[in-house]
């Protein structure tokens, strides 16, 4: 039964009942008993597999269809009223046509099924930066995941009251037909419709669809920002905690950086790292004029393969209870989960000899496909959905709805050459420029063409809900709204420089703390830097390499170098990329590109 008298909510829910024609309607209340009953039901139908309740209490495994294992950018649409508001980085679909097609798919889609109504809050319930959504779905998997990834239930409806400020999300699994799969955002209507998928990134509508695509549009209109950023806090020996946000394209180690364990020397000296968020930040000006960030999510939807006690101890610990695993392998002997590189090294002997792979088939380390290539037991994009509160280093400020004050904004990508380990922007405008040109370089293994940079501005290319040129302008406007002395400092990092043999030069992982430490010193005004055409680069002696085996100051100098020839090529590439935004490219950014070119002469 509905626990609200909010007319707009009731109207929306009724419109979905009329269209999708479910047998039954269940409102998600947030109560434990309801959750337990739904879990039991999903286990009884085989939708969920109950894992070893002694070693993995409250944990479940789910397998999606093999055609439904990742976000689908080609089938994701921004249905803005005007095409020019969508921009060159998104697919546009005229709203009237999109609604007509989607409604024809949704018509009767819940026949013989139960419709679940999930009221959810992005951010702590009732918080000043938080927002509400209602997701309608026919999937218990979605309900159980949303319960981990967001705050759900009656409290949310209470906080919403009579307000019309909520996002309307409709999801229907239908036949999971990839040809009829559509993930559509209607920014002007506060609406999302997702059909024919059951994969997390497409169907947990609070995440990419709302918290990035719709919220970025809301942020532009309401003077705040929704960003694809982790948030971490570093507690210094004097107990002061400095917060930083960081944006990286997918597969650059955001979750690892967010949960970093500092090297021993730092731990001994009293440094601690706390995680506020690993994927999304909502940023707004606070009463003191500084920028504050919240993590709108309540859990981590992390990639499982590669996660082990060495690469990310804290993430692994977070998955030890009340976690949903999707498309990982199952060890039938222990009823536990497994994925590639779950062992931290060869001496860690947990690697099983026999498994059920992510598709439900028998698997041994010798299993090969039709072409004789080894078959992976877990899908490379297999995931864990883990409650944030499980994380050993979750920040004490995680539930603070007012957010944490941001002192640094970090951008980065995978760049085997050209981009130094770290440099600092000259100003907010220059920082926006650096964010707008970030991206990852293709490698020979991936495409055959080495050195092609796929630009992914602010890591928002697949997630910006409006024209990217207007988005850059919004970044510039946000900067103007904050006094210079209260603005965060901008940095760019590159953990991925390689030597002639293709080996990573910088050790990465916990040792990235050494680079964050330099940023702390810059923020506190404790160290100088070298001015170069691209920005301020550290003096090598200001980066602490104590305790790093086989890593000399000369090696460090090598990855801090700014190569003018390489940057001239880069600057030309930037100008080419900027052309795609036409006259929506802010003049300030065009000038930044010209100034860079001039400084490189
Ligand atoms: C994610 C992504 O799943 O960015 O977070 O792809
Ligand atoms: Mn992400």
Of the candidates 226, 204, 231, 202, the one whose C-alpha atom is nearest the C-alpha of residue 149 is: 204
> Do residues 85 and 467 lie in contact, with contact meaning Cβ atoms separated by under 8 Å?
yes
Q: What band does 447 get if pLDDT is binned at 50, 70 and 90?
A: very low
Cβ within 8 Å of residue 177, ≥6 positions away: 196
Determine the distance separating the centroid of ligand 1 and the alpha carbon of 189, expressed in angstroms. 25
SS3 of the chain: helix, strand, coil, percent, to 5 = 35, 25, 45
**Measured between alpha carbons, how far is 104 from 312 in angstroms, rounded to an integer?**
45
First to last CA, the chain: 69
Q: For helices 468-480 and 428-436, what crossing angle results, to 10°? A: 160
The DSSP 8-state label assigned to residue 56 in this structure reads S
Q: What would the mean pLDDT of 410-434 be, rounded to a whole number?
A: 97
Cα–Cα distance list, 256 to 10, 29, 179, 312 (Å): 42, 33, 35, 6
Higher pLDDT, 242 or 344: 242
279 lines ligand 1 (CB under 6 A): yes
Give the angle 351-357-362 at the CA atoms, nearest 5°. 95
- Return the ligand 1 atom nearest residue 303 CA: 3
Higher pLDDT, 350 or 586: 586
- In this prediction the pTM is 0.97
What pLDDT sits at residue 248? 95
| C-beta contacts of 546-549 below 8 A and 24+ residues apart | 546/265, 547/263, 547/264, 547/265, 548/507, 548/511, 548/514
Tokens linked to 37: 């009953």
- Return the ligand 1 atom nearest residue 383 CA: 3
pLDDT one-digit tens code per residue, 325-352: 999 999 999 999 999 999 988 787 777 8
pLDDT one-digit tens code per residue, 286-311: 999 999 999 999 999 999 999 999 99
pLDDT one-digit tens code per residue, 356-401: 999 999 999 999 999 999 999 999 999 999 999 999 999 999 999 9
Determine the distance separating the centroid of ligand 1 and the alpha carbon of 304, expressed in angstroms. 12
429 lines ligand 1 (CB under 6 A): no
State the ligand closest to the CA atom of 204. Answer: 1
**Measured between alpha carbons, how far is 431 from 247 in angstroms, rounded to an integer?**
12
138 lines ligand 1 (CB under 6 A): no
Q: Say if residue 457's pLDDT is above 90.
A: yes
Higher pLDDT, 280 or 344: 280
Tokens linked to 552: 């000399």
Q: What would the mean pLDDT of 492-502 be, rounded to a whole number?
A: 95
pLDDT one-digit tens code per residue, 109-167: 999 999 999 999 999 999 999 999 999 999 999 999 999 999 999 999 999 999 999 99
Q: What would the mean pLDDT of 81-91 be, rounded to a whole number?
A: 97
Q: Which segment of 111-115, 224-228, 251-255 scores lowest on mean pLDDT? A: 251-255
250 lines ligand 1 (CB under 6 A): yes
Active-site residue numbers? 252
What pLDDT sits at residue 170? 98
249 lines ligand 1 (CB under 6 A): no
Q: Indicate the length of the chain as a whole number.
A: 601
What pLDDT sits at residue 451? 67
Determine the distance separating the centroid of ligand 1 and the alpha carbon of 250, expressed in angstroms. 6
> Do residues 152 and 127 lie in contact, with contact meaning Cβ atoms separated by under 8 Å?
no
Q: Say if residue 232's pLDDT is above 60.
A: yes
Q: What percent of the chain has pLDDT over 70?
A: 98
Q: What band does 443 get if pLDDT is binned at 50, 70 and 90?
A: low
Of the candidates 82, 44, 75, 76, the one whose C-alpha atom is nearest the C-alpha of residue 60 is: 44
Cβ within 8 Å of residue 325, ≥6 positions away: 51, 59, 60, 61, 62, 304, 319, 337, 382, 383, 384, 385
Q: How remote is the C-alpha of 398 from its chain's centroid?
A: 17
Q: What band does 258 get if pLDDT is binned at 50, 70 and 90?
A: very high
State the ligand closest to the CA atom of 227. Answer: 2
Q: Say if residue 446's pLDDT is above 90.
A: no
Which residues does residue 285 pair with via DSSP β-bridges, in sequence order?
A: 291
The 3 state secondary structure assigned to 336-391 is EEECCCCCCCCCCCCCCCCEECCCCCEECCCCECCCCCECCCCCCCCEEEEEHHHC
Query: Looking at ligand 1, which residue's alpha carbon is closest to its atom 6?
Result: 250
Of the candidates 347, 318, 323, the one whose C-alpha atom is nearest the C-alpha of residue 336 is: 323
Q: What would the mean pLDDT of 211-237 be, rounded to a whole number?
A: 98
**Measured between alpha carbons, how far is 545 from 511 in angstroms, rounded to an integer?**
9
Phi, psi for 461 (deg, rounded to 5): -50, -50
Q: Say if residue 444's pLDDT is above 60.
A: no
535 lines ligand 1 (CB under 6 A): no
Phi, psi for 497 (deg, rounded to 5): -65, 140
Determine the distance separating the centroid of ligand 2 and the alpha carbon of 318, expressed in angstroms. 18
What pLDDT sits at residue 184? 98
> Do residues 390 and 322 lie in contact, with contact meaning Cβ atoms separated by under 8 Å?
yes
- Return the ligand 1 atom nearest residue 228 CA: 4
Q: Say if residue 48's pLDDT is above 80.
A: yes
Query: Looking at ligand 1, which residue's alpha carbon is closest to its atom 1?
Result: 250
Tokens linked to 600: 């490189």
Q: Say if residue 79's pLDDT is above 70.
A: yes
Q: What would the mean pLDDT of 30-52 be, rounded to a whole number?
A: 98
Q: Say if residue 470's pLDDT is above 70.
A: yes
**Measured between alpha carbons, how far is 578 from 148 in angstroms, rounded to an integer?**
39
70 lines ligand 1 (CB under 6 A): no
What pLDDT sits at residue 442? 67
Q: Say if residue 463's pLDDT is above 80.
A: yes
């Amino acid at each position: 039964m509905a626990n609200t008298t909010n007319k707009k909510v009731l109207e929306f829910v009724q419109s979905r009942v009329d269209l999708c024609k479910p047998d039954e309607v269940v409102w998600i209340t947030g109560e434990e008993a309801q959750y337990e009953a739904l879990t039991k039901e999903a286990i009884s139908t085989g939708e969920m597999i109950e894992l070893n309740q002694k070693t993995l209490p409250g944990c479940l495994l789910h397998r999606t269809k093999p055609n439904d294992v990742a976000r689908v950018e080609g089938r994701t649409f921004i249905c803005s009223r005007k095409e020019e508001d969508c921009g060159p980085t998104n697919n546009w679909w005229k709203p009237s046509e999109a609604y007509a097609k989607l409604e024809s798919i949704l018509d009767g889609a819940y026949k013989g099924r139960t419709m679940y109504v999930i009221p959810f809050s992005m951010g702590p319930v009732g918080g000043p930066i938080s927002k509400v959504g209602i997701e309608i779905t026919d999937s218990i998997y979605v309900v159980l995941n949303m319960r981990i990834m967001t705050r759900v239930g009656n409290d949310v409806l209470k906080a919403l009251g009579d307000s019309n400020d909520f996002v309307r999300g409709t999801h229907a699994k239908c036949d999971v037909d990839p040809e009829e799969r559509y993930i559509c955002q209607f920014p002007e209507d506060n609406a999302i419709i997702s059909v024919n998928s059951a994969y997390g990134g497409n169907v947990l509508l609070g995440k990419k669809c709302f918290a990035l695509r719709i919220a970025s549009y809301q942020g532009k209109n309401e003077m705040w920002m929704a960003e694809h950023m982790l948030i971490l806090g570093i507690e210094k020996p004097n107990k002061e905690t400095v917060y930083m946000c960081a944006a990286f394209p997918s597969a650059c180690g955001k979750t690892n950086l967010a949960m970093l364990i500092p090297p021993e020397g730092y731990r001994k000296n009293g440094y601690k790292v706390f995680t506020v968020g690993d994927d999304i930040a909502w940023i707004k000006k606070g009463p003191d004029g500084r920028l504050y960030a919240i993590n709108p999510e309540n859990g981590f939807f992390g990639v499982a393969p590669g996660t082990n006690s060495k690469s990310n101890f804290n993430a692994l610990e977070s998955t030890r209870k009340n976690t949903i695993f999707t498309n990982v392998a199952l060890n039938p002997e222990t009823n536990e989960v497994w994925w590639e590189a779950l062992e931290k090294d060869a001496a860690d002997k947990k690697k099983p000899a026999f498994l059920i792979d992510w598709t439900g088939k028998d698997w041994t380390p010798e299993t090969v496909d039709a072409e004789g290539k080894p078959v992976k037991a877990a899908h490379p994009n297999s995931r864990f959905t883990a409650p944030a509160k499980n994380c050993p280093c979750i920040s004490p400020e995680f539930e603070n709805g007012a957010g944490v004050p941001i002192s640094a904004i970090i951008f980065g990508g995978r760049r085997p050459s050209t981009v130094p380990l770290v440099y600092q922007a000259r100003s907010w405008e220059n920082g926006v420029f650096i964010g707008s040109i970030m991206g990852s370089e293709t490698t020979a293994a991936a495409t055959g063409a080495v050195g092609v940079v796929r630009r992914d501005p602010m890591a928002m290319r697949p997630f910006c809900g409006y024209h990217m040129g207007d988005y850059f302008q919004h970044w510039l406007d946000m900067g103007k709204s904050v006094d210079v002395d209260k603005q965060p400092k901008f940095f760019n990092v590159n953990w991925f420089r390689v030597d002639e043999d293709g080996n990573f030069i910088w050790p990465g992982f916990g040792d990235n703390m050494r680079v964050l430490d330099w940023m702390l010193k810059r923020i506190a005004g404790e160290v100088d830097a070298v001015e170069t055409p691209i920005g301020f680069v550290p003096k090598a002696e200001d980066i602490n390499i104590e305790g790093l085996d086989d890593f000399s100051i000369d090696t460090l100098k090598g990855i801090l170098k700014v190569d003018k020839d390489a940057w001239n090529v880069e600057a030309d590439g930037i100008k080419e990329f900027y052309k795609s935004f036409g006259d929506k490219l802010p003049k300030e950014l065009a000038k930044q590109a010209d100034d860079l070119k001039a400084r490189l002469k």
